[in-house]
């Protein structure tokens, strides 16, 4: 729901997530996540523009609150095996997640009757495509996903969701449509 890269999610720590925001601030500060690191070499994000702080939709903040509660239960179950790394998306023993992210994601998709062909990267493509379909400016979408230019956003990530391209017909109808 935010368009973050898997490598950014794997490096996200609770210290960089604010699930309460500051509604009393002027202007109000929403729940947000600071994406300043990744699991890339040296912990850097893919590009300098990838360092960004994103507001969280309230349902995403709620899901992260549930994640924190689940993680607290996992910490208790793991006992001395727990390795504290402050990761939002840790393994059941607190360690960083690795290649098993894809496997776990595919298991979730299969359980939801979506099949096993989906990959976590497709969530990012869907985020871009849904915002585009909702008429969000490509510059804004590019900024949200941390691209250094709109070119990558347009050519690689944005996919047409509408089965029929309507813009031309709608505009011609408006220009030449029935007149009384």
- Asked whether 69 and 12 are in contact (CB, 8 A), the reply is no
Q: Which of the residues 5, 32, 37, 158 is marked catalytic?
A: 5
Looking at 10, 37, 124, 158, which residue is catalytic?
124
Q: Does 124 qualify as catalytic in the annotation?
A: yes
Whether 85 is a known active-site residue: answer: no
Q: Which of 40, 46, 49, 97 is catalytic?
A: 46
Is 157 a known active-site residue? yes
Active site residue 46: yes
Hunting for tokens 């062909």 — which residue is that? 117
Catalytic residue among 10, 37, 52, 157: 157
**Residue of 32, 37, 147, 158 marked catalytic:** 147
Contacts of residues 82-90 at CB distance under 8 Å and 24 or more positions apart, as own/partner, are 85/13, 86/13, 86/14, 86/15, 87/10, 87/11, 87/12, 87/13, 87/14, 88/9, 88/12, 88/13, 88/14, 88/17, 88/64, 89/9, 89/10, 89/12
List, by residue number, the catalytic residues: 5, 46, 124, 147, 157
């Amino acid at each position: 729901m935010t368009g973050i890269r898997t490598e950014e999610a794997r490096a996200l720590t609770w210290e960089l997530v604010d699930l309460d925001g500051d509604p009393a601030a002027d202007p109000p500060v929403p729940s947000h996540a600071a994406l300043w690191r990744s699991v890339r070499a040296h912990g850097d994000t893919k590009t300098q523009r990838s360092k960004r702080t994103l507001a969280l939709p309230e349902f995403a903040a709620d899901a992260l609150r549930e994640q924190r509660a689940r993680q607290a239960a996992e910490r208790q179950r793991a006992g001395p095996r727990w390795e504290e790394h402050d990761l939002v998306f840790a393994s059941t023993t607190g360690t960083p997640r690795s290649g098993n992210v894809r496997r776990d994601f595919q298991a979730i998709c299969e359980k939801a009757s979506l099949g096993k062909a989906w990959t976590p990267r497709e969530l990012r493509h869907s985020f871009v495509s849904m915002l585009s379909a909702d008429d969000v400016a490509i510059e804004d979408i590019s900024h949200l996903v941390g691209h250094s230019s709109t070119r990558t956003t347009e050519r690689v990530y944005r996919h047409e969701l509408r089965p029929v391209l309507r813009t031309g017909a709608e505009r011609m109808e408006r220009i030449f449509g029935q007149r009384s």
